Structure 1
Amino acid sequence: MDLNIKQSGIHTCIHHTSYFKNRSGRVYKRAAERYLRTDLSCGYAHCKDCKDLGTNPLLKSENPTKNSIVGKHVLVIDSTCMIRFHDLFDSPLLKNIIITQTVWEGVKAKSVPAYKKMNSLCYDEARDRFHVFMNEFHYQTFSEESGKFEDLSRGEELLLSTVLFLSSHWKDDGVTPVVICSDDESSKRMKKYFSNVVTLREYIHGFDDAEKKCLLDQMAAYENYGTAAGNTIFDEYLSHDRVMDGIASGTIKRGNFNVSRENYREASVIIDDQLTTWFITGKHCNRAINGDVVAVQLLPREDWVAPEKMIRLRDVEEYVTTADDMGNEEDGEPKSKKAKKNVVPTAKVVGIIKRNWRQYCGMLLPSSVKGAKRHLFCPAERLIPRIRIETEQADTLSQKRIVVAIDHWPRDSKYPMGHYVRSIGEMGSRETENEVLLLEHDIPHAPFSEQVLDCLPRENWIPDLTEKTPRVDLRHLTICSVDPLGCTDIDDALHCTQIQDDLFEVGVHIADVTHFVRPNTAIDDEASLRGTTVYLCDRRIDMLPALLSSNLCSLRGEEERYAFSCIWTMTSNADIQSVKYHKSLIKSKAALTYEKAQEIIDDSRETNDIAKGLRFLMKLSKVLNARRTGCGALTLASSEVRFDMDWESRTPKKVMEKQHLDTHSMVEEFMLLANISVAEKILAEFPDCALLRRHPVPLKESYKPLVEKTYPKSLGPKDPGPSKYWPG
C-alpha cells in the first residue's frame, strides 16, 4: 500500500463479502471494499496511544460497583442488553460504557425505540458516559472468519475479538474490559473464552447505592415471564407475511385501534375512506392498546354482536385487584353481548402493525396479597389497560405518582407486562399533578439549555435606532396595551389618533421577537419544538426564556421596545384610506387590563389622550364587527374560566367564568384587521409565495357521531347526503 495512504490512518483494504435473503427467499451476494484503520480511539481518557485520536470520555471517574474482581474497568455491552434494558442506562450509576459498531448496527436493525435511546445517550444526554468503538473498521478487531469460536454467533465473535484487543491494549494501564450480557446463557457462552463476563443483573447487584433497587425493579418484567405455561387467553398473531398478503387480497384490513370512552371492553377500527367501522370486543381485542395500528379480520356473521348499552369504566370495575390474579378475560364477558339484536359488523385483531406504546404516568393499585412483589399499575389515561410490574418498593411507591413502561404482553396474561421507570413525586401535591399533566400531553417543559440561554442578549439591553435595520420612531404616539389581568407577556398594543374631522390614524404594534430569535439558532429550534406557551392554573411553560417573553419582547408600559407596526388611515365608518407597514420603536404609555380599559372608556370624566384613543378604537371596532358579521363571519360562543389564586401559596381558591367585555371584542377586531391587511400586502408583493392559512375541510369521520345522533336508523336516512353543512 502507498505510504501516503498508510499515513492517513488506513492499514489494510479488504474485500468483504456478505449474503442476504430477500422476501421471496432468494439469496444474494454483496461484495464491498472495507478499509481497516489504525487511528480509531479506544475511548479511555488516559490512553497514551489514543489521546490524539478523538474524544475519550471513559474512566474520568471509576465505576461504582463493588462486585467486580478486576478493579478499574470499562463495560462492553451486547446488543440484546441494550434492546431489553435501554431505559436502565439513564442511570448515572451505569457509566464508562463502550458500544461497539456491531452492537450499534444490531440494535438499529432490531429495535427502533432502543436505537433512538442509544443514539440519544451516546450523542446527547450522556455522552460523557458512553463511547462508540468502530470495531468493524479497526485493523485489530475485525475478522472475516466466522465460526472461529464454537457456539458463538457472529455478533458475539466480533464482541469477543473487541474485548480481547482492549484487554491487551489497556494491560499496562491496569484497565480491564467487562462484558455485560442480558442473560445467563449468553454469559456462559462468552465465559468459555473470556473470564470477565457478567449479566447486567449481577453487575447491578454490586452497587452500594439506594438506586440499585429501582434498577432491579426495572429488570423484573423480563425475568419471570416466559412463554405461556398455562391456559392462553389470546390468539397468536398472524405472521407479517400472512398479514400483508391478507391486506393485499382484502380479507384483512388495517386501521387505528380506538378504545371506547364509555366501555373499556369495546373498541372500533375504521377500515376505509367511507368510514366503514368494525366493532371489536373482549378477547378479540387481542392485546391491542389504544392508538396501535392493527390488522383486523371480520368474523363470520353468526359471531357478530351488539355494543353493550351501559357504561363500563375501568376505574370502577378494576380499582382493587390482585396483580397475581391471572383470571381469564372471558370470565368477565357480559352476557348481553351474546344477544343477536342490533348486531354490527364484528372483527378480531389478528396482528399488530405498529405499536403506540410510550411511558405512562399513574399509580400503583393496592394488592390484596401482603408482601407481594407483583403489582398492578393504573395509568392516568383511562384508555390504557392496567400494567403488571414487579417491584420490592411497593410500600414506598404506593403514595407516589410513578412512570411505567410496557415491555411485552404474553398470550397467557390478562395485562401487559412492564417495568418501573421513575418516580414523579408525592401523590396529590400540586407540583406532581402538574408534572403528570405535562408528561401525559407530551409538553416540553425542561429548563432551557445553556445553548439556548447563550442566544439571549444581555439583561441591560436597550433599543438602538442606529442599527442597520431601519426603524420608524413612534415613541411620541399614545400607545397602550390591553390584556388579561396578570399578563406579563404583552405582545400587542394599539393607538388611535384623530388627524382630521372624519379621519383617524389607527395602529397595531406587535412585539418584534425576530430581532432576538434568529433563524437556525438553538433558541429558534427550541421555540419551534415548544410551539406555544402553555398555561396551567398556577404557572406557565414559556416558549421563550423569561428575559424575552416577559421583558424585552413584552410591550410594558413606559419602556422602549422594538415592534412591527401596521398603521391605517381610516374614516369614522372604518373605510381604510391607506396602510403603512414598518419596523418601529415604540414606548407604550400604559399596560391596561380589559377591566381597566373598560372603566376608562365608560368614565366620562376621563379625558386624557389614552381615554380618547380607547373611545375612538371602541367606536371603530363596532363598525368593523358589524361589517364582518354581515359578510358571514362565524361567531363561536364559548365560556372561558379563570382561577382565583392565592399567589402566596400558589393555590387555586375558586374557578370563575370570565365576564365578556366590549374591550375583548375591541382588541380582537383590530388584531383580525391587522392580519387581513398584512395578508393582502404579502399577496400583492409576493403572489407566487403567499400562503393562506385556513382550516381544512372537516373529515367525515368527525361528523359521524353527530350524524348518527341526528339521523337514527329508525327515524331517518343512513346518510343525509351532501348539503351546505356536509362537504360532499
Structure 2
Amino acid sequence: MELNVIDSGISRRILVHDWFLDDDNIVPRVVEQYLRTDLPCGLKDCKSCTLPKYSALEPRNEALAKVAPFKHTIIMDIPTMTRFVDLLEDDHIDNAVIIQTHWEHLSTTNPQIARKIDKILKGGEKHLAFLMNDMMEGTFVNPEDFESKEEELHHKLIVAAGFLKKHWESLDIKPVIVVSTDEAKEAFLKDYEFVTTVGEYVDSMGDKADLALRIQYLLKQEDTGPSIYPEYLQLNDVDQGLAAGKYQKGAFRVSPENYLEATVSFGVDYAESWFIQGRVSMNRACQGDIVVVELLPKDQWTLPEKVLRMREADEEMEEESAYMAETAAETAEPASKKAKKTPKAAAKPAADDEFQPLPTARVVAVLKRNWRDYCGLMLPSFQADGTDGLFSAFDKSIPRIRVEDPLYQEIVGKIVVVAIDDWPVDSHYPRGHLIQIIGNNGDQAAEEKMVLMEHDIRYEPFNANVLACLPKMPWVPNPESFRKDLTHLDICSVDPEGCTDIDDALHCVKNADGTYEVGVHIADVTHFLRPGTAMDNEASLRSTSVYLCGRRIDMLPDLLSSNLCSLRGGEVRYAFSVVWQLNEDSDVIKAEFHKSVIKSRAALTYQKAQEMIDDKKAKDSISESLRGLLHLSKKLKAKRFRDGALSLASSEIRFDIDPDTGTPLAVQEKKHLPTMSMVEEFMLLANVSVAKRIYEEYPDFAVLRRHPIPPKEQYEPLVRAADALGFKIDPSTGKTLADSLDKAVDPSNPVVNRMLRMLATRCMTQAVYFISSTMTPDKFLHFGLAAPLYTHFTSPIRRYADVMVHRLLASAIGADELHKEMLNKIWLIKQSDIMNYRHKKAQYASRASILLHTYLMIKGLENEVLEAFIVNIRKNGIQVQIPKYGLESIIFFTKSFSKERRNEDFVDYAKLNIRPFQKVKVSVSMVEKNLRRRVEVKLIEPKVDCVSADADVAAY
C-alpha cells in the first residue's frame, strides 16, 4: 500500500462478497472496503484517537449502578435498542455507545427506531457516541464468516466491546453490554465478562423506583400460549425463495373497507399486486411493511368479501367484554375464509360475477417494519383496576396495540402516543409501550396537536438560525442585469378568499395580428432562499406548507411567504415569468422564460375576478385581460380532454372559523367558478413548458412529476358501481376512461356522474416527484393530466419541489449558477423521497383537520336530518356521503337482516329501494361509547332495518 494512503489513516483494503436485489433477482457483487485507524472511539478524554472533536462520552458513573461499580459505558444489543430506545432519552441513562452495524441493521428492519436513535445522537444533550465498527481496524468482522445475520450481529457486538475495553484499559473504563433477557445474557457471557440485563441494571440504581417499575412492565412477558400465526421464514430461506421466484417482495396495504383483507403490491410503480385475506394469512404484517409473500395454489385464490368490516363496528356490535373481544371477535375469520373449508368450492366465482378470483397469497416474512409512533386513545383496561389494556390508533389501518403500564388507569381515555415493540406469534395484538401523553380526549388543542404529531408535521416555530437568513427590512428591489422589467404590464393575481401566500399572477394582451401574449408570473423565492443555508435546509425538510382548518403551517418564514415573496397588489416584487405567444386556438407559438420584476395591479379573489369578467360594462385593462385569459383557458382545457386528461371530482368543504377560539362557525361546500379553471389551465401550461425546458437542459437531473397508470384491478369498485346503473366504464386507457365517464350521465339524477367521478378519483394512484435519470421516458407520463412531461413550477412559496425546479430553470437561462447538490443524483433522489412523503402527510393532515372540525360542528346537534347519497352497497351495509359535511359514513344492516341475505350480491338490493348513488335522508348526531366519540348516522328514508357505525370520521 502506498505511503500517502497509510498516512491518510487507511490501514488496509479488503474485498467483501455481497449481493443485492435487482428487478427481484439476487445479483452477487464484490465490494471494496477500506479499514481505518484514525476513527474516534467516542471518549472525550481519549488520548489515542486523532479525531477527539467528535467525541462525547464522559463516564463518571462508578456509583450509578451496583452491577457495574466502575466507570463504564453501555452498549445495547438490537432487541434491547428496539424495545428500550426511549431509555436513551431518560436522564438516568447516559454514556451509551451505538455501533454502526447495529444502527444500519435497524435502518433496514426497524427504521423508526433507527430514526429515533439518530435524532437522540444529533440532539447533543446526552453523552452518546456512534462507533464506526465496520470501518475500523480492530473492530471489523467479515460477514462471510457467519451463517446467519443474528450470529453475525452478536459477534460484532462482542468484538466492538472487546476492542473498546482494551482501548480504554489505561483509563479504567469498561463497556457493559446491556441485553433484555437472561437467555441473551448467558449467550454473551460466553465471550465477554461485563454483561447485564436492562432490568438488573436499572434495579441496581437504587433510588430510581419509577424507572425500575417502568422497565418491569416493559419486560413483563405474557403467558406463552399456542401459536396463532406461523413463524416467519429465516432470511436465508427468504433469499433463496426470492431468487428462485417462489416468493415475492412488496408493500403491504390494508383494505380501507375490510381490516381483515390486504394487498401486497410490487413491480414497477407497484402495478402488480396479490390479494391477502384473513388474519392468519396477513401474519402480523402492518400497514406499509415490506413483506415477503407466497402465492397460494390457484384453487385457493379468491375475491374480496362484499362486506364492510371496521374494527370499531366489530367491537361495538359484539356483546362480549373488551377482554373477550381480544380472544373472540378480533380472531374471527371472514365468512369467505370459513367457506374455504373446501378449497375448490371457494375458488369458484359467483355465476353472475365477471371478475375472476384474484391471485391470493400469504405473508411468510417481514423484511422491513414500517412501525412508527402512533397517536390515539387509550381504551379501558381489561380489568377494573388493571395495568394493561388496548390502545386505539388514530390510523384505522393499525391493529389495536396491547399496552402495559403501572399508571395505566391514569391514562385511560387520554390522547397518547404509543410505539409497537414486537408482535409475538401467540398474541392477538402487537405489544407496545406509552411514549407521551398529549392531552384529554375532547380537548380541541390536544386533538389539533394530535393531528400534527400523527402526520409527522414539522410545526415548531422557525429557529434563530433560520430567521437569521431573512433579509433586513425594509427591503427594496435592486437592479439586476439578468432581470427583465415587466412592471409596465397589467398583471393581477386570482386566488381563494383570504389567501396571503400569493405564488402566481397573470396577464394577457391581445396583439394586433390576433395572437395573444400571455404571462404567468411566479414568486422568485430562490432570490431569498439560497442553497445550503439553514433556511433552505429547513424548507427542504418541511417540503410543503400544510393547510389546516383556520391555520397554515408555512414552509418558509412569514416575512417571505406572506410578504416579500407574495405577489401582493400594488407592490413591486421579483418574479420568475413564463411568457407565451399563443394563437386563437391556444397553441403555443413561442415560450420565453425570464427572471423579472413585476408590479401586480390587483390581488383578486376568484369571485371578484368572475364578477369583473361578467360585468359587460367593465372595459378596463384588467377586466379585458381576465376575459382573454378565460377565453384561451377554455380552449386549453378542451385540448387536454381531447388528449385523454381526466375530469375527476372530490368532496370539498370549508369552515368559517372563529379567529379567537378556533371554533368552526359554519360549513360551506366549495363552489366552482370558471375563474378557478382559468387559473388552473395556465398553471398547468406553465408547468408543462418548464418541464420541457429543464429536461432539455438537464436530462439526467430534471425534477419532474409523474402520475403512474393505475392497475386495472383498482378500477373494480368503479366498474361495478357503473355496471349496476347500466353504464360501461372502460379503463383501458386514460382516453377511454375519460370518454366512458363523460357518457355515464343519468338525466334524471345529475349526481350520478359526479359520484362516479369521485369513485374514479379513489381508483387513482398517487402522483409522485422523481428524478429524470431514474426511469425511462415512457414512465414520465402524468396519467391524470395526459401530459408526457410535467413538473411543479408555480408554487415555490409552499412547495420545495418548485424551488428545485426554479434553480434548474434559472441555470438553464443563464440567470443563476446551479448549486452542486442539484447535480448530485443521490441527494436529488433522497430529496424527492422526502417531498413525496411530506406531500402525502400534508394531505392526510388537512383531511384529518377537516374531520376534527366536522366533529366540532356536529357536537351539540341532535339528530340533524340531512340529504345524503349512497356511495357503495355491500352485503352487510351501505356507505353514504353527506355533502354538507363532506363526510362519509357506514350504516350496517342489523345482524338478522344481513344473515338472511348474506348470499346476495349488492345489486339485488334494488328490491329494497336501495341502489348506488340514490339520494336518501339521514340523521346525524354525536355519540360517545366506551370513551370514543363518533358521528352516528341513521338512515331515515327509505326505511331499512339497519344500525350506524361510523367508519370515516376518526374515533379519537
TMscore range, shorter length = 0.7 to 0.9
Q: 1:194 to 1:285 in 2, by over 3 A?
A: closer
Q: From the superposition, tell whether residues 390 and 491 of structure 1 become closer, same or farther in structure 2 (CA, over 3 Å).
A: same
Q: Secondary structure at the match of 1:366?
A: strand
Q: Provide the C-alpha distance between the structure 2 equivalents of 1:30 and 1:51, rounded to a whole number of angstroms.
A: 27
Q: Of 679, 689, 705, which residue of structure 1 is paired with 2:717? A: 705
Contact persistence 1:65–1:206 (CA under 8 A)? no
Distance in 1 (CA, whole Å) between partners of 2:15 and 2:586 is: 78
Q: Deviations over 1:57-81 (max 9, x none)?
A: 2339x77995558789452213346
Change (3 A) 1:501 1:432: same
What is residue 286 of structure 2 aligned with on the other side? 289
Q: Match of 2:545?
A: 533
> Partner amino acid for 2:621?
G
Counterpart in the other structure of 1:332: 332
Deviation at 1:170, TM superposition (A): 3.1
Do the aligned partners of 1:532 and 1:543 also contact (CA within 8 Å) in 2?
yes
How do 1:463-502 and structure 2 match up within 5 A?
463-465=477-479, 467=480, 469-495=481-507
Q: 2: distance between equivalents of 1:446 and 1:355?
A: 30
Give yes or no for the alignment of 1:560 onto 2:572: yes
Matched, 1:386 2:385: no
Is 1:667 aligned to residue 717 of structure 2?
A: no
Q: Provide, for residues 624-653 of structure 1, a one-character-per-residue CA deviation record: whole Å limited to 9, x for no partner.
A: 134334535355555632210101112222
Structure 1 counterpart of 2:129: 131
Alpha-carbon offset, residue 109 of structure 1: 4.7
Residue 377 of structure 1 aligns to a residue whose secondary structure is strand
Secondary structure of residue in 2 paired with 1:517: coil
Partner residue, 1:725? 736
2:360 equivalent to 1:362:
no
Partners of 2:446 and 2:548 lie apart in 1 by 13
Structure 2: unaligned runs, 5 residues or longer: 21-29, 146-152, 340-344, 350-356, 739-782, 784-956
Which of these residues, 581, 599, 624, is aligned with residue 632 of structure 2?
624
State the Cα distance separating 1:594 from its structure 2 match.
2.7
Shift of 1:536: 0.6
The alpha-carbon distance between structure 1 residues 518 and 393, as it changes in their structure 2 partners (threshold 3 A), is: same
Distance across 2 between alignment mates of 1:688 and 1:194? 51
- Paired residues of 1:86 and 1:117 also in contact (CA < 8 A): no
Q: Distance in 2 between matches of 1:612 and 1:155?
A: 77
The Cα of 1:351 is off from its aligned counterpart by 0.5
Matches within 5 A, 1:131-170: 131-133=129-131, 154-155=155-156, 157-158=158-159, 161-162=162-163, 164-165=165-166, 168-170=169-171
Structure 1 match to 2:101: 105
**One-letter identity of the residue aligned with 2:170:** H
1:426 partner letter: N
Q: Partner letter of residue 266 of structure 1?
A: E
1:290-328 CA-to-partner distances (Å, cap 9, x unmatched) read 444231342584x67775443221112236854597626
For 2:701 and 2:75, locate their aligned partners in 1 and report how far apart those are by CA, in whole Å: 52
Q: Report the alpha carbon displacement of residue 585 of structure 1 after superposing the two structures with TM.
A: 2.1
2:565 and 2:573 in contact (8 A); partners too: yes
| Residues 658/71 of structure 1: CA separation in 2 closer, same or farther (3 Å cut) | same
Q: Give the deviation of 1:15 after TM superposition.
A: 11
Residue 579 of structure 1 deviates from its aligned partner by: 6.4
Following superposition, the deviation at residue 528 of structure 1 comes to 3.8
Q: Return the alpha-carbon distance in structure 2 between the equivalents of residues 617 and 32 of structure 1.
A: 64
1:51-66 equivalences under 5 Å are: 53-59=52-58
Deviation, structure 1 residue 388: 1.4
| Equivalent residue number for residue 25 of structure 1 | none
The answer to whether the Cα contact below 8 Å between 2:67 and 2:201 also exists between their aligned partners in 1 is: no
CA shift at 1:696, angstroms?
A: 4.2
Q: Which one of the candidate residues 187, 197, 200 is aligned to 2:198?
A: 200
Higher deviation after alignment, 330-339 or 454-463 = 330-339
Partner in structure 1 of residue 475 of structure 2: 461
Change (3 A) 1:601 1:72: farther
In the alignment, the residues of structure 2 paired with residue 671 and residue 21 of structure 1 have an alpha-carbon distance, to the nearest angstrom, of 46
Describe the shift of the 1:514–1:614 C-alpha distance in structure 2 as closer, same or farther (beyond 3 A).
same
Deviates more, 1:547-556 or 1:503-512: 503-512
Look up the SS of the partner of 2:52 in the other structure: coil
Structure 2: distance between partners of 1:698 and 1:417: 36
Q: Secondary structure at the match of 1:401?
A: strand
TM-score by length of 1: 0.77
Write the deviation string for residues 668-725 of structure 1: whole angstroms up to 9, x where unpaired. 454455556656777999999999866444432332333345568xx99999978951
Higher helix proportion: 2
Give the equivalent residue in structure 1 for 2:418. Answer: 404
Change (3 A) 1:142 1:164: farther
Greater CA drift, 653-662 or 442-451: 442-451
Tell me how far 1:586 sits from its aligned partner: 2.4
Whichever residue aligns with residue 376 of structure 1, its letter is L
Q: Calculate the TM-score normalised by the size of structure 2.
A: 0.60
Residue 562 of structure 1: CA displacement? 0.8
Distance 1:582 1:685 in 2: 16
The residue aligned with 2:307 is 310
* Deviation of 1:542 (Å): 1.7
Contact in 2 for aligned 1:243/1:295 (Cα 8 Å): no
Q: 1:91 aligns with which of 89, 92, 95?
A: 89
Counterpart-to-counterpart distance in 1, 2:673 and 2:241: 60
SS of 2:500's equivalent in the other structure is coil
Contact 1:367–1:375 (CA under 8 A) maintained in structure 2: yes
AA in 1 matched with 2:605: T
**What stretches of structure 1 of length at least 5 have no aligned partner?**
23-28, 147-151
Aligned residues with identical type, % of pairs = 39
Shift of 1:454: 4.5
The secondary structure found in structure 2 opposite 1:725 is helix
Q: Distance in 1 between matches of 2:196 and 2:450?
A: 37
Give the superposition deviation at 1:43. Answer: 4.0
| Contact 2:729/2:737 (8 A) holds in 1 | no
Specify the code of the residue in structure 1 equivalent to 2:362: V
CA deviation after TM superposition for structure 1 residue 656, in Å: 0.5
Aligned counterparts of 2:367 and 2:191: Cα–Cα separation in 1: 40
**Which has the bigger relative contact order, CA under 8 A and spacing at least 6?**
2
Aligned equivalents of 1:234, 1:689: Cα separation in 2: 46
Q: Given the alignment of the two structures, is residue 262 of structure 1 paired with residue 257 of structure 2, yes or no? A: yes
Shift of 1:573: 8.9
Render the CA deviation track for 1:433-453: whole Å, top value 9, x for unaligned. 334334444444444455544
Alpha-carbon distance between aligned partners in 2 of 1:718 and 1:570, rounded to the nearest angstrom: 36
Contact 1:557 1:588 (C-alpha < 8 Å) held by counterparts: yes
Asked whether 1:352 is paired with 2:365, we answer yes
